[in-house]
């Protein structure tokens, strides 16, 4: 009962901050809303027993990625491009009914099917357990990730070079 | 214990908000943040499915998604900054060079 109430509170925070992200004109406000959203998702990970992921979520997403976003927003000084009238307003408003349709589809296909009996004893996602899995069954994808990050790093340097 | 369908429904809500955000907004940075929202919704669903089946594979996949998202954000923001340097404006409506 308490778990359910806690879930509803955190879910309300997550949905509210997500709406704030897409409704506020100012990109900095949107970034701060996204930080709140990422934090609430970290709380949901904790509720599902994924401790390592909750920590990684706060460190990688709310920490590193959002700092990068805020940095880019500060450098680019946006906010001027969404003040004027929108020439494609009618086409953009089509997103609302189509989004509602997509939501109905997702709930009908994915969420409603999973209301069966209770789950088996859930494995706890401690750093120990996840790390063991990461370095045994998922070793090759893990090494590939390092190559991907290296490629991203080199690519960003090439893109950010002056006169590129 | 909260049933998985709750988490999956919340994931559907967040994913839909992300999709609407990508379509409605004109600022590429906000569009990027909406994409992050969708990635997180998918991560939430992965963890919920993993708990459902009682193993940790879903959580490992989420770990990889996080790494890929970090790389994607770095490259994407570099591209946006490069575009801004050339155009001095920041609206996705201007970027129609590759349209046929």
- What is the structure's pLDDT at A13? 96
B97 φψ region: left (φ > 0), alpha (ψ -120 to 50), beta (else): alpha
How close does chain A come to B68, measured CA to CA in Å?
7
User: Residue A30: which of B10, B43, B22 has the closest Cα?
Assistant: B22
Q: Residue A83: pLDDT band by 50, 70, 90 thresholds? A: low
- What is the structure's pLDDT at B40? 95
The ranges of chain B with pLDDT < 50 are none
- What is the structure's pLDDT at A11? 95
Structure confidence by residue, pLDDT tens digits, A28-77: 899 999 999 999 999 999 998 889 999 999 999 888 999 999 988 888 86
Check pLDDT > 80 for residue A162: no
The domain segmentation of chain A, as residue ranges, is 1-78, 126-164
- What is the structure's pLDDT at A116? 60
Check pLDDT > 60 for residue A79: no
Chosen CATH of A1-78 out of 2.40.50.140, 1.20.120.1200, 2.60.120.580, 1.10.10.10:
1.20.120.1200
Structure confidence by residue, pLDDT tens digits, A97-135: 898 999 898 888 876 776 666 556 666 878 888 899 899
pTM exceeds 0.95 for this model: no
Distance CA B46, CA B85 (A): 38
| A83 contact residues in B (CB cutoff 8 A) | none
User: Residue A33: which of A16, A45, A54 has the closest Cα?
Assistant: A16
Looking at the predicted complex, does its ipTM rise above 0.95? no
Residue of B46, B66, B68 to mutate for A, most A C-beta atoms under 10 A:
B66
Question: What are the start-end ranges of the H helices in B25-56?
Answer: 28-53
**Per-window interface: A 94-153 vs B, CB < 8 A:** 95-96, 98-100, 102-103, 106-107, 110-112, 114-115, 118-123, 125, 129-130, 133-134, 137-138, 141-142, 145, 148-149, 151-153
How close does chain A come to B24, measured CA to CA in Å?
5
- What is the structure's pLDDT at A78? 55
């Amino acid at each position: 009962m308490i778990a359910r109430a806690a879930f509803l509170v955190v879910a309300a925070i997550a949905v509210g901050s997500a709406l704030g992200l897409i409704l506020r004109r100012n990109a900095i406000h949107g970034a701060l809303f996204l930080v709140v959203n990422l934090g609430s998702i970290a709380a949901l990970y904790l509720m599902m027993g994924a401790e390592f992921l909750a920590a990684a979520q706060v460190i990688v997403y709310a920490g590193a990625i959002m700092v990068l976003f805020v940095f880019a927003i500060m450098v680019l000084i946006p906010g001027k491009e969404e003040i004027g009238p929108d020439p494609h307003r009618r086409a953009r408003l089509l997103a609302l009914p189509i989004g509602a349709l997509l939501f109905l589809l997702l709930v009908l296909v994915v969420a409603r099917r999973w209301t069966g009996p209770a789950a088996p004893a859930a494995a706890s996602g401690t750093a120990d357990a996840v790390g063991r899995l990461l370095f045994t069954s998922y070793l090759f994808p893990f090494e590939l990730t390092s190559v991907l990050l290296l490629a991203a790093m080199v690519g960003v340097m090439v893109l950010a070079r002056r006169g590129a | 214990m909260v049933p998985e369908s709750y988490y999956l429904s919340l994931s559907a809500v967040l994913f839909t908000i992300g999709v609407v955000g990508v379509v409605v907004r004109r600022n590429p940075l906000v569009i990027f943040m909406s994409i992050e929202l969708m990635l997180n919704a998918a991560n939430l669903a992965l963890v919920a499915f993993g708990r459902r089946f009682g193993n940790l594979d879903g959580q490992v996949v989420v770990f990889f998604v996080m790494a890929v998202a970090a790389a994607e954000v770095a490259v994407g923001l570099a591209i946006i900054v490069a575009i801004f340097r050339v155009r001095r404006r920041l609206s996705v409506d201007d970027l129609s060079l590759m349209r046929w």
